[in-house]
A and B are shown apart, each in its own frame.
Chain A
Amino acid sequence: MFFFRQIIQKPWVTADGSAPVHGGAEFSLPKAKVGLWVFCAVVTSLFLIFIASYSMRMSVADWRPLPEPGLLWLNTAILVFSSMALQWAQVNAHRELIGKVKAGLFFGGVLAIAFLAGQLLVWQQLVDLGYFSSTNPANAFFYLFTGIHGLHLLGGLVALGRTTVKVRKADLDMAYVRLSVELCTTYWHFLLAVWLVIFGLLLFT
């Protein structure tokens, strides 16, 4: 309710000489974290509009649902493990165990790349079976969802790579490392949640 508390203030009443007390920042969070949350909100908006489009297009008679290749279950498991690896890295960043942070980041990254490779394999399987994006909108939506989700993960991998470089530096600033690892982990969990929603949507329709 910080917002409500703010907008009932009477700004025209001037402070009577006492020191100003508002610190300037709305949340006691690092700026990068707020930035990441705002970005997640934008991505949420993007996928909500995609999902709304999906459900609207579904209602037309020519809709033929896509069979979900079994490989998607494996990919989902890989992404869950990738997220867990980063969570483990985050816990160890707080304990300042750098070796474990490095390992967590490494496995998180490798598993995320494995997930992307798995998604490409799924595309290959579907194309081999003749599920082109031109044959049915359900197919086109599948390529669209997985493609956009994959691109977001790819962007995350860039950030993860930068974090890994930071952690490997000799003169590391622990607070900085902790924040970077936390940001990556939050983004990974977010993308996992997005993927689970998309996967659920595909399974149940």
Chain B
Amino acid sequence: MAYVTHDDAQTVPPAELGEMELYHAKSWMTKYVFSQDAKIIAIQYSVTATAIGMLGLVLSWLMRLQLGFPESFDFITPTDYYQFVTMHGMIMVIYLLTALFLGGFGNYLIPLMVGARDMVFPYLNMLSYWIYLLAVLILVASWFVPGGPTGAGWTLYPPQAITSGTPGQGGGILLMLISLSFFIIGFTMGGLNYVVTVLQARTRGMSLMRMPLTIWGIFTATVLALLAFPALFVGAVMMTFDNLLGSSFFMPAIVEFGELLDHEGGSPVFFQHIFWFFGHPEVYIVALPAFGIVSDLLSVHARKNIFGYRMMVWAIVAIGALSFVVWAHHMYVSGMNPYFGFFFATSTLIIAVPTALKVYNWTLTLWKGNIHLTLPMLFALAFIVTFVNGGITGLFLGNVTVDVPLSDTMFVVAHFHMVMGVAPLLVVFGAVYHWYPLMTGRMLNEGLGKFHFWVTFLGAYAVFLPLHYIGLLGVPRRYFELTGTSYIPDSVQTLNAFVTTIALIVGFAQLVFIYNLIRSRTKGEVAERNPWKATTLEWQTENVPPTHGNFGKKLPVVYRWAYAFSVPGARDDFIPQNLPPDQVPTDGSVS
């Protein structure tokens, strides 16, 4: 068989420094609290993200209660409602999904899957988590300042974000901007780790093209985040200047309560450019890890190699690159040169090509596969369907002429919740069911899991499909209450009540999931080693769950890619990446 060899190892001089020495914790505090072990940090990140995510979930219930049953709840005022909308959006996108995929899964899986003992800069990695926690605490603190958290919408558009009349005009918006800045600083520390670990700390034999797609997704998303988050940082710092020091970066001459403010000449649209230059890559910062993880889930649970591995890698990289040139499609109604709009509509439609390619490849991976309908597989299948649904409405909204009437309606809310809310979360759930046995040595309860899956999957459709129709009728988003709008039929209210009821049920299912996570930690069925018969390195560690240092005395050596499933001639339907070729058991059919 032809094998593309390149003997870098022999020709290039060895690195100036050898392996870094692994840091060994000496006390309980440095082992479990101020830990430098990526696996502990991953769990810290995940628990914090889940905790703040639960707050985001509760906020969505409160919003839905108001929309479904207006004038029934005295404790929800319009001010509260705007604060719920804003904080729900910000928490879910940044503090939950970004932190969970990169800080959680990134930290846990990167060293294990590439065959490293830990991240390359463990101390920085620890700092990354504590700064993230600080950012979360600052965010939560904004509930306890006069005026409460900001209600400017998660996009924080000036001038309204810092003028009076917007909830949280004083401390709220300031704490939000400070919290975001800390999040970005903390993330940069983690991101440096993820990138350098993937580039420099892989084990022998693990070439880039032998990496599992999970790692490709997380790696590319981290590169995007490292380049895109500075834009948010710039926006946050400049808005803080406008707010505190009275500069006019984004603030135009504006009259507030009959009084002309000191600002002059700033451009609010310019903030939108900066924000979305970050904001669009952010969508892929969440989506690319999900793409990667779902590829691995499908392959493992269908016992078949991923279809078109190289194409999948190129598609991830292409989507990442293209995501930097589509941002203004969020701003069609802000006013722009028509040629500009044409350019962004075109680039938006082009990005659908590599994305569709990935969907085809996932589907073709399933074709003639030995599909096991395990919980991870169910969630992976649900992801494909949901992602296609959410993605197709994205094609509508990407066209300027279609977008203009739909902009700022519930249709947009339905679109992005499907494509970047529900779809990535389905992957998170699938991934948790898949890797929980590795993290804890126990299986999650299957019955509770099935309940969680069906309620979440069907419930998400019951919630968001109606919102598309409501949006097509022209019901605007972000409105506290619809009154005196004759073009909106009464049936919309009935539908809204239905959606709210389902949303509460779906929310309850998430509590069942959390209960399952806690209960199975001690009472779950003990997992066998490598319960899913996966090929990747994280399942081939000496101890399960992997201990400090991940692998035993010797690091594994990689002989093949991560998708050696159902190889003809082999006895088992999977060959681990680190099994030497001469030790692969054969079935005798091929000599």
- B-contacting residues of A (Cβ < 8 Å)? 3, 5-18, 20-32, 34-35, 38-39, 41-42, 45-46, 49-50, 53, 56-57, 60-63, 132-134, 137, 139-140, 144, 148, 175-176, 178-179
Closest CB-CB distance, B543 to chain A, in whole Å? 22
Would you list which residues of chain B between 189 and 212 have a CB under 8 Å from chain A? 191-192, 195-196, 199-210
What are 20 of the A-B contact pairs (CB < 8 Å)? A10-B4, A11-B207, A11-B560, A13-B1, A14-B559, A16-B1, A17-B581, A17-B582, A20-B558, A21-B8, A22-B206, A23-B12, A24-B203, A38-B192, A46-B234, A62-B248, A137-B247, A140-B248, A148-B237, A176-B17
Interface centre among B14, B20, B234, B270 (most CB of A within 10 A): B234
Decide: A24 and B248 in contact? CB cutoff 8 A. no
Q: How far is the CB of B578 from chain A (nearest CB, A)?
A: 10
Name the residue among B188, B209, B561 with the largest chain A CB count within 10 angstroms.
Answer: B209
Complex contact B1–A31 (CB within 8 A): no
Q: Are A35 and B208 in contact (CB-based, < 8 A)?
A: no
B267–A57 CB distance below 8 A: yes
> Are B195 and A23 in touch, CB under 8 angstroms?
no
Q: Select from chain A the residue with minimum beta-carbon distance to B310.
A: A7
Known interface pairs A24-B202, A140-B249; A11-B309 also in contact (CB < 8 Å): yes
The answer on a CB contact under 8 Å between B199 and A34 is yes
Contact A46 B3 (CB under 8 A): no
CB of A10, distance to nearest CB on chain B (Å) = 6
Query: Closest approach, in angstroms, between the C-beta of B62 and any C-beta of chain A?
Result: 35
Interface pair A137/B1, CB less than 8 Å apart: no
Selected contact of A134 from candidates B262, B274, B581, CB within 8 Å: B262
- Render B226-240 as a binary contact track against A, CB cut-off 8 A, 1 for contact: 110011011001100
- The answer for the CA separation of A6 and B313 in the assembled complex, in Å, is 11
A26-B208, A134-B246 as given contacts; A13 in contact with B192, CB under 8 Å: no
In the complex the two chains form, is B209's CB within 8 Å of A41's CB? no
B249 and A7 contacting across the interface, CB-CB below 8 Å:
no
* Also in contact, A34 and B196, with CB within 8 A (given A9-B4, A11-B561, A24-B206): yes
B9 within 8 A of A: yes
Residue with the highest number of chain A CB atoms closer than 10 Å, among B14, B17, B203, B206:
B17
Are B559 and A35 within 8 A (Cβ)? no
Whether B3 lies near A15 (C-beta < 8 A) is yes
Nearest residue in A to B313 (C-beta to C-beta)?
A7
Q: Is the CB of A14 within 8 A of B270?
A: no
Q: Are A7 and B209 in contact (CB under 8 A)?
A: yes
Contact B195 A38 (CB under 8 A): yes
Partner of A22, one of B6, B226, B310, B314: B6
B497 interface residue, CB < 8 Å from A? Answer: no
Given contacts A14-B1, A18-B3, contact A35 B121 (CB under 8 A): yes
Contact of B230 among A7, A16, A45, A139 (CB under 8 A): A45
A21 touching B9, Cβ below 8 Å: yes
Q: Are B237 and A35 in contact (CB under 8 A)?
A: no
**Interchain CB contact under 8 A, A12 and B314:** no
**Docked pose: A34 CA to B198 CA in angstroms:** 11
Other than the known A7-B314, A35-B120, what 10 A-B pairs have Cβ atoms closer than 8 Å?
A: A11-B310, A12-B563, A24-B204, A35-B196, A57-B266, A62-B265, A132-B245, A134-B246, A137-B265, A140-B247
Contact in complex: A179, B249 (CB < 8 Å): no
Beta-carbon nearest neighbor of B242 in chain A: A140
Q: Is B277 a contact of A21 with CB atoms below 8 Å? A: no
Q: In the complex, which residue of chain A has the Cβ closest to the Cβ of B269?
A: A56
Residue ID in chain B nearest A54 by CB atoms: B249
What CA separation (Å) do A26 and B7 show in the bound complex?
Answer: 12
Structural contact, A133 and B246, CB atoms closer than 8 A: yes
B556-584, CB under 8 A of A: which get 1 and which 0? 01111101100000000000000011100
| Contact across chains for A179 and B10 when beta carbons are under 8 A apart | no
